[in-house]
Structure 1
Amino acid sequence: MALNLQEKQAVVAEVSAQVAQAQTIVLAEYRGIEVGDITKLRANARQSGVYLRVLKNTLARRAVQGTPFEGLAEQMVGPLLYGISADAVAAAKVVHEFARTNDKLVIKAGAYNGKVMDVAGVNALATVPSKEVLLAQLLGLLQSPVSGLARVIAAVAEQKTATA
């Protein structure tokens, strides 16, 4: 069913609001995927805070017009699913994880921080650990010299009390 002008404007406004807050957009072709699988993908996206939508490409082009994601307009061809997230890796991770288990979902392109990425770029972004994991790794890195020094001092003190 075709949308009238007001409905199209509402869709463009809704998507534009999501794009304004986004750091990442991922485009994937969904041709041949069953409805149940798409429902699972949408549920995963909702849990991860990803805005996932099937859009007419002309409406999507209007929504990204004048934004850092404008370079994606050339890639907007065919039946596409749009994953938009404010988290830098969430959209790429959700789409990438689903594409690994369902070969009918084909990642076409993406954009992060205003730079258009190819399929390899989206997959690389999807494999980056989450912010929490990176912070934990950094904390472990910062703590390791201090804890090593504390163990050495404790061992020296124990050795001195044992010989005394």
Structure 2
Amino acid sequence: MPSTVVLEKKKQQVAELADRLKGSCAGVVVDYKGINVEDDTKLRKELREAGVVYTVVKNSVLKRAAENVGLEIDSTVVEGTTAVATSESDYVAAARILNKYAETNNNFTIKTGYLDGKVIANEEVVALAKLPSREALLAQIASVVVEPIACIARAVNALEEKGGAQAVAQEAPAEAPAEEATEAPAEESAE
């Protein structure tokens, strides 16, 4: 029978992980077996720099914490070695970094993930990882917004180089008056 101290410690771990899951917009659960210390250190550093919190967790703690926040995870997720990466503001960072690592290390696999309180399959985590970063998406949106303004500026600049709107108006041909019909109507024969 576990002591009350051990039970209290586990309850605290469950509550802390549940708060972390609830406070994050996205997360990824991985099986980290086969990772050496050097690679683990590099991976943790990259995740930390991206604002992702990465911790190894006991399967029972993950299962209870997920239940507490309403995430229904498959029983296969809480088997083997398990680590959780969560991000409070970046939907893509954890998935991108962990997927990149999983592609180069056969023993390291993505189990599942979640977005805004909904569990997603590992295939969806991989698809999420392929999305550009938030900064890249904002740059793309900015270029779409700025392009029409840049076109107008280039057109105005071209007009200015030609001597302004008056020079362009002088170069344009005047409209020719509509030609009048010159043929007379055919006479009807009276036979």
Instruction: Give TM-score scaled by structure 1 length.
Output: 0.87
Superposed CA offset, 1:27-73 (max 9, x none)? 111122212222221111111111111111111111122324x1225
Matched, 1:72 2:91: no
User: SS at the partner of 1:27?
Assistant: strand
Residues paired across the two proteins, number: 161
Aligned pair in 2 of structure 1 residues 22, 51: CA closer, same or farther (>3 Å)? same
Residue pair 2:18, 2:68 contacting (<8 A) in 1 also: no
Higher relative contact order (CA 8 A, sep 6+): 1
- Equivalent residue letter for 2:93: A
Return the alpha-carbon distance in structure 2 between the equivalents of residues 110 and 131 of structure 1. Answer: 19
Residue pair 2:18, 2:69 contacting (<8 A) in 1 also: no
Q: Identity of counterpart residues, as a percentage?
A: 34
Cα RMSD, aligned residues only = 2.1
> Which runs of 5 or more structure 2 residues have no equivalent in the other structure?
171-191
Shift of 1:160: 2.8
Which residue of 1 is the match for residue 126 of structure 2? 123
Higher alpha-carbon Rg: 2
Residue pair 1:72, 1:111 contacting (<8 A) in 2 also: no
Instruction: Give TM-score scaled by structure 2 length.
Output: 0.76
Return the alpha-carbon distance in structure 2 between the equivalents of residues 116 and 18 of structure 1. Answer: 15
- After the TM superposition, which of the residue ranges 140-149 and 95-104 deviates more from structure 2? 95-104
